[in-house]
Amino acid sequence: MTQPSPSALTNERTVRWLVLAAEAVSREADRLTELDSPIGDADHGNNMRRGFGAVRDSLTAETPETPGAVLRQAGRLLVSKVGGASGPLYGTLLRRAGKELGDSPEVSGADLAAALRTGVDAVAQLGGAATGDKTMLDALDPAVTALRTALERGETLEAALSQAGTAADEGAAATVPIRARKGRASYLGERSEGHLDPGAASSALLLAALAEAVAQDD
């Protein structure tokens, strides 16, 4: 069997990414809900677990044939299954990235980075937010920038995604002292300070799952 390029995203790796993301969200659901309790509706973990669980079950039952199609299917399910703002935001991220990828059977690292940037920009537009507003963008934006920068240095997709995951973790951690300017947390004013944003935390899980999916042997 022909092995995929170390700097390519295949259909198998894309499916593995979302399955690993579902496992990570399920494992961390209680923590995500705890993070959401003081500044949100205390439902982020449960909503994300339900949505990504539906994605995993759907991909197990019927797997699309290209990375772009996988992401588009996952995005549609997240919009329909995840409550609150998270469903439309995560759904938009994956659907727009999938649309950007088109129907190529194997995606280069550069094309993946460009697709994720398109998805992240769509999330920013939908939510009317920017990096620094204490949202999921604080993890996603630096992660995509780190991915593109590492690839431009000539690093493999595996190495570049590892750096993107680190950037997402650091971006999420940096939300703790920030006063929220968007979403429900923004209504709390200074009381939103001192809390890790749950959307940034779940976004970091998504990036970590992508890095793990590519690092694993087929």
**Spatial contact of 66 and 89, defined as CB atoms under 8 Å apart:** no
Of 55, 75, 147, the closest CA to residue 108 belongs to 147
Q: pLDDT tens-digit profile of 63-105?
A: 999 999 999 999 999 999 887 788 999 999 999 999 999 999 9
C-alpha 208/C-alpha 181 separation (Å) is 26
- At 85 the pLDDT is 83
CA angle 70, 76, 81 (to 5 degrees): 120
Higher pLDDT, 119 or 179: 119
Output the pLDDT for position 190: 77
pLDDT tens readout for residues 166-210: 999 999 999 999 988 767 676 666 776 888 899 999 999 999 999
All residues at 6 or more sequence positions from 62 whose CB lies less than 8 Å from its CB, including other chains? none
- pLDDT, position 1: 41
Alpha helices, DSSP H, located in the chain: 11-36, 44-61, 67-81, 86-101, 109-127, 137-152, 157-173, 198-215
- pLDDT score recorded for residue 217: 63
Instruction: Give all domains of the chain, ordered by start, each with its CATH number.
Output: 8-215 (1.25.40.340)
